[in-house]
Structure 1
Amino acid sequence: MTTTPPAADLAFSLLREGRFGDAENLMAREVRAVAERHGPGSPEWASAQCDLGNVLLNADQLDRAIECFRQAAAVAPRDHESHKDQLTYRLNVGMAMRMAGRLEEAEQQLRQGAQERLAFYGREHAGYAFGLEPLASLLLERGDVAGARQVVEEAVANFWNNGHERVASALALRAAVVQAGGTGEPLFVGLDQLPDHVVEQIGQVIAGVPVEDGAARKALFTTLVAVLEQRLGPDHQGTINALSALANLGRDIGDEAGRVDAIERVLASYDRQGRTEEALMAALGLAMAQDDAGDTEGSLRTYASAYERSRGIGRPEVISQVLRNWGLALKEAGRLEEAEQRLAEALEQARRGADHDTVGRAGVALGLFLQHEGRLDEARKILGEGLAVIDPVHPDALVGRSHLGAVLDGRTCGCGDMPSTIAAAFREFVITRLPADLLDHLDVDIVDGDFKIDVHLRREPTEAEIGRLNEVFATAQAEFRHRITDRR
């Protein structure tokens, strides 16, 4: 006998697939269904509101998420368990406010929540420390290092005394607070007394610690890598993850040499362990880093090596990805004949596989190359093939659609048409999700990096339709902001 997964689990599966609008709609329907079964203001309704808030939070609709958490927290608890849930909802309000940049309000919420947890759990219970940790993090972000130190030390001691695994994230936060204090104390303490899996978690959570200064963040990550190498070994996944985080940081702060070094260490570890697919992905990352560092020839050599690795793996989709990236790099290097050969091979390999997006991305890449070379008839055919199979709001699809429009107009480039292409896709997304007789016309433009929307209705909407309008437009903005900012 099979059971249906809870709506929240299905919604988060949709989020992982990038289907933000579908995830939101699923949870909104679930909230309505729970209201019909249990009534608005019931503990069950509060739980569903919280789930919807979490979906909205992950879709970057922060103000709407905050309102969902507020509504959930406003439900009066009926018993011990619903009181615990209310504390969680209040914590979510504060954390969502922080994500929205409403730091003063967030601090008020988190302080109130910590006091309510103290009254409910008592000072020695781990449930109290769960409210202290986000408060300490917020205080650090606001520059109150002394206040953050006091609160985080209490959180660490609480989790430690309770033998709670959450001590890992508290210790990571403590390291950042100690570093900000400039006292010269060791950043990471007591790791020899913790099991490996807890030590590994420190590396997993440290990326979320609020350290804005790039140099300070690099020093924190570098120290962590050294500690994990000594404690876990250079080939432990926790050490590899920390090195990957250090590489990503190098990209973010422009430390390309540090980025290359970190990826080379990750690649060497995967090779020592015989983890071929992970090694291939690291090699592709290394090639991109070398190119960004100005080492074009080194980058192309790494792509050639990655191609040999992909042939050993043998999956068409993997080989296509490598050939596509290699071809694009050759194009940027001005080696056009080789670039075309690799891009054509990428499409050929993609056709042998079963992934439509791989075919689409390879087709768009080759089509753009042919268009920029003035071979418009060939470009039109290849772009049409790619766009027919790729997810229509994938970033590559938007680029391809922009360039196909230029091809049909007889132009060799459509790079400047992206705003109008995205606006048209946004408009189509909205229209297909509203009653056919409601909209007269919809104008969508992109101004200063955001959507400017002008809506004209054929008739007076009902209250329910007004709510639906607001939901669809908010969902569309979340959907497209995520999709168009995806990196290849």
Structure 2
Amino acid sequence: MSAPPTSLDMAYALLQEGRPVDAEQLMVRELQAVERRHGRGSPEWASAQCDLGNLLFGCGLPDRAVECFRGACAGPLPEDPEAQKEHLTYRLNLGAALMMTGRLEEADAELRRNLQERLAFYGRSHPGYAFGLEPLADVLLKRGAVQEAREAIEEVIANFWRNGHERVATALALRAEIVTAEGGTDPLFPGLDQLPDELVEQVAMTVLNRTDATTAGAAGQMVLTGLVTALEARLGPDHQATLNALSLSANLGRHLGDGAGRIAAIRSVLASYDRQGRAEEALMATLGLAMAQSDAGDLAGTLETYAQARTRADAIGRPELSSQVLRNWGLALSEADRPAEAEKCLREALAAAELGHDYEMLGRARIALGLFLQHRERLAEAQQVVEAGLATLDVAHPDAIVGRSHLKAIMDGRSCGCGDIEGTIAEAFREFVMGRLPQDLLERLDVTVKDGEFAIGVELRREPTEDEIAHLNRVIESANVEFRRRLAHTE
């Protein structure tokens, strides 16, 4: 029989379900139970602190993860070898979390301390030493010490390569960034022909995970371009790793304003999916192509691509896919000032969604049609459709935010203006938080949005316990992060 899932297993399952607040609360209770059983500062307590820190890190809360990791490694280096290894991991995690919060000087100091401890414990030739040197190279790069970062990462790669350690994949990904920052002509991804496929895939995955399409800039695009070239040569143009790199390159092209490069990357992905007979993936790529053409101002090309997408969706025969295509096509037709055709598409999108079982797609189809009707000054009909759409969408869904804002404008008798987006976001945030707190604790929760930041005002209904105050603060902070992530594409 397999072992029952641990609290950490269950917490990560909750996190995968999109429930980070619940996941955190589970691990907080586990930490409290461990403290009662073994005492604060015990090895078991330190391990539980590290588990909570790792979860918070995964939830996008590195500042709070820092405090967990700091607590886990607060004591002196233990004498027991196994306990020493755990301590080294805790301090490595602390340095990584500090780096993610932008506290680079502190991260540098913690990682150098960790590296010295690892040198004493493992020796310089052991991969355990390279584990500590790799994140230090990352911090050095972020601090602008590019030459020192290059020396460090080359030592890491040599160590992992000599020891036959699979971690060489992540080091090669970091090296590509460092070489790009140097501005030289050295190859970005040398030696891929000597690695097994799974490690080449890991190199690609690491690059993609490290590349934020909204902030990577031209240097990130250079790394991605080099990666695509290397993957096409090593794994082939139809390998999923190659296609993933092309897709991210297209996303980055959007933020960099490189319309031609974005369209070319999407066309390469689409051609591959067609070669492989992957119809649904090809359909999604076709929708991406239409959006890229629209952003590039190619109206005729956009509408032609949507027509092709409709044919693809009909061939697949899934109503939710047909609804998505028709919704996007209808919105494009509305932008092109072709209202009769737009309304026909949007109504067909709603009809298709009603045939399926995807309630999110149904809500999105309703919101799209409702907003179209509002802008055509058919307010009574628009209100009915938008309200129905809101009933099937999560309060924090981007379309729900836009729909609520438009609904306020409709109820004010306005066909445009679309209401107060920031006020709508604040109200949705309030509703989201209130639903996750004890009902008898708060008298009022005021939420406002100013300069992109949430301001929270709390009025308590009764005197809270110390644990309830801690719980309230954790829920609000965690919900803040979750809400921001889910609203990233509201506009």
TM-score interval (norm. to shorter): over 0.9
- Measured in 1, the distance between the counterparts of 2:356 and 2:430 equals 33
Aligned pair 1:224/2:222, yes or no?
no
Tell me which residue corresponds to 2:151.
150
Tell me which residue corresponds to 1:139.
140
User: CA deviation digits over 1:226-260, x for unaligned, max 9?
Assistant: 12211221112222122122112212211111111
Tell me which residue corresponds to 2:122.
121
- Measured in 2, the distance between the counterparts of 1:197 and 1:28 equals 36
Indicate if the aligned counterparts of 1:300 and 1:330 stay in contact, CA closer than 8 A: yes
Indicate if the aligned counterparts of 1:391 and 1:397 stay in contact, CA closer than 8 A: yes
Tell me which residue corresponds to 2:32.
32
- Measured in 2, the distance between the counterparts of 1:149 and 1:49 equals 33
Task: For structure 2, list consecutive stretches of 5 or more residues without a partner in the other structure.
Answer: none
Aligned pair 1:369/2:372, yes or no?
yes
Q: Residues 466, 371 of structure 1: CA spacing in aligned structure 2 closer, same or farther, 3 A cutoff?
A: same
Tell me which residue corresponds to 2:283.
280
Q: Which of residues 230, 239, 242 in structure 2 aligns to 1:239?
A: 242
For residue 35 of structure 1, give the secondary structure of its aligned residue in structure 2.
Answer: helix
Tell me which residue corresponds to 2:131.
130
Q: Quick one: which amino acid aligns to residue 430 of structure 2?
A: R
Indicate if the aligned counterparts of 1:321 and 1:346 stay in contact, CA closer than 8 A: yes
- Measured in 2, the distance between the counterparts of 1:195 and 1:83 equals 33
Indicate if the aligned counterparts of 2:360 and 2:393 stay in contact, CA closer than 8 A: yes
- Measured in 1, the distance between the counterparts of 2:283 and 2:141 equals 38
- Measured in 1, the distance between the counterparts of 2:216 and 2:252 equals 11
Taking every aligned residue pair, what percent have the same amino acid on both sides? 62
Task: State the Cα distance separating 1:14 from its structure 2 match.
Answer: 2.8
Task: State the Cα distance separating 1:75 from its structure 2 match.
Answer: 5.4
Task: State the Cα distance separating 1:136 from its structure 2 match.
Answer: 0.7
1:374-453 pair list within 5 angstroms: 374-413=377-416, 415-453=418-456
For residue 452 of structure 1, give the secondary structure of its aligned residue in structure 2.
Answer: strand
- Measured in 2, the distance between the counterparts of 1:78 and 1:467 equals 34
Between stretches 300-309 and 8-17, larger displacement belongs to 8-17
- Measured in 1, the distance between the counterparts of 2:259 and 2:6 equals 44
Indicate if the aligned counterparts of 2:441 and 2:460 stay in contact, CA closer than 8 A: yes
Task: State the Cα distance separating 1:210 from its structure 2 match.
Answer: 7.6
Aligned pair 1:254/2:257, yes or no?
yes
Q: Residues 390, 183 of structure 1: CA spacing in aligned structure 2 closer, same or farther, 3 A cutoff?
A: closer
Between stretches 135-144 and 411-420, larger displacement belongs to 411-420
Task: State the Cα distance separating 1:47 from its structure 2 match.
Answer: 2.6
Q: Residues 435, 248 of structure 1: CA spacing in aligned structure 2 closer, same or farther, 3 A cutoff?
A: closer
Indicate if the aligned counterparts of 1:125 and 1:158 stay in contact, CA closer than 8 A: yes
For residue 419 of structure 2, give the secondary structure of its aligned residue in structure 1.
Answer: helix
Q: Residues 330, 241 of structure 1: CA spacing in aligned structure 2 closer, same or farther, 3 A cutoff?
A: same
Q: Residues 331, 54 of structure 1: CA spacing in aligned structure 2 closer, same or farther, 3 A cutoff?
A: farther
- Measured in 2, the distance between the counterparts of 1:368 and 1:400 equals 8
- Measured in 2, the distance between the counterparts of 1:219 and 1:478 equals 30
Q: Residues 380, 123 of structure 1: CA spacing in aligned structure 2 closer, same or farther, 3 A cutoff?
A: same
Task: For structure 1, list consecutive stretches of 5 or more residues without a partner in the other structure.
Answer: none
Task: State the Cα distance separating 1:39 from its structure 2 match.
Answer: 3.3
Q: Residues 191, 438 of structure 1: CA spacing in aligned structure 2 closer, same or farther, 3 A cutoff?
A: closer
- Measured in 2, the distance between the counterparts of 1:285 and 1:146 equals 39
1:57-206 pair list within 5 angstroms: 57-74=57-74, 77=78, 79-206=80-207
- Measured in 1, the distance between the counterparts of 2:19 and 2:216 equals 34
Q: Quick one: which amino acid aligns to residue 307 of structure 2?
A: A
User: CA deviation digits over 1:21-63, x for unaligned, max 9?
Assistant: 2222222222223333433333333233222222322333222
- Measured in 1, the distance between the counterparts of 2:216 and 2:455 equals 34
Aligned pair 1:479/2:482, yes or no?
yes
Between stretches 58-67 and 102-111, larger displacement belongs to 58-67
- Measured in 1, the distance between the counterparts of 2:183 and 2:470 equals 51
Tell me which residue corresponds to 2:335.
332
- Measured in 2, the distance between the counterparts of 1:416 and 1:234 equals 47
Q: Say which structure, 1 or 2, has more relative contact order (CA 8 Å, 6+ apart).
A: 1
Task: State the Cα distance separating 1:208 from its structure 2 match.
Answer: 4.7
Indicate if the aligned counterparts of 2:350 and 2:365 stay in contact, CA closer than 8 A: yes
Indicate if the aligned counterparts of 2:402 and 2:490 stay in contact, CA closer than 8 A: no
Q: Residues 327, 9 of structure 1: CA spacing in aligned structure 2 closer, same or farther, 3 A cutoff?
A: farther
Indicate if the aligned counterparts of 2:408 and 2:418 stay in contact, CA closer than 8 A: no
For residue 415 of structure 1, give the secondary structure of its aligned residue in structure 2.
Answer: coil
User: CA deviation digits over 1:98-140, x for unaligned, max 9?
Assistant: 1111111111111112222222222122121111111111111
Tell me which residue corresponds to 2:363.
360
Q: Residues 459, 129 of structure 1: CA spacing in aligned structure 2 closer, same or farther, 3 A cutoff?
A: same
Indicate if the aligned counterparts of 1:225 and 1:239 stay in contact, CA closer than 8 A: yes
Tell me which residue corresponds to 1:346.
349
- Measured in 2, the distance between the counterparts of 1:292 and 1:381 equals 31
Tell me which residue corresponds to 2:6.
6
Task: State the Cα distance separating 1:365 from its structure 2 match.
Answer: 1.2
Indicate if the aligned counterparts of 2:180 and 2:222 stay in contact, CA closer than 8 A: no
Between stretches 280-289 and 172-181, larger displacement belongs to 172-181
1:459-478 pair list within 5 angstroms: 459-478=462-481
For residue 391 of structure 2, give the secondary structure of its aligned residue in structure 1.
Answer: helix
CA RMSD of aligned residues (A): 2.2
Task: State the Cα distance separating 1:85 from its structure 2 match.
Answer: 2.3
- Measured in 1, the distance between the counterparts of 2:320 and 2:6 equals 33
Indicate if the aligned counterparts of 2:396 and 2:432 stay in contact, CA closer than 8 A: no
Q: Quick one: which amino acid aligns to residue 231 of structure 2?
A: L
Q: Which of residues 289, 294, 298 in structure 2 aligns to 1:291?
A: 294
TM-score, normalization by structure 2: 0.93
Between stretches 119-128 and 72-81, larger displacement belongs to 72-81
Q: Residues 175, 347 of structure 1: CA spacing in aligned structure 2 closer, same or farther, 3 A cutoff?
A: same
TM-score, normalization by structure 1: 0.94
For residue 164 of structure 1, give the secondary structure of its aligned residue in structure 2.
Answer: coil
For residue 334 of structure 1, give the secondary structure of its aligned residue in structure 2.
Answer: coil
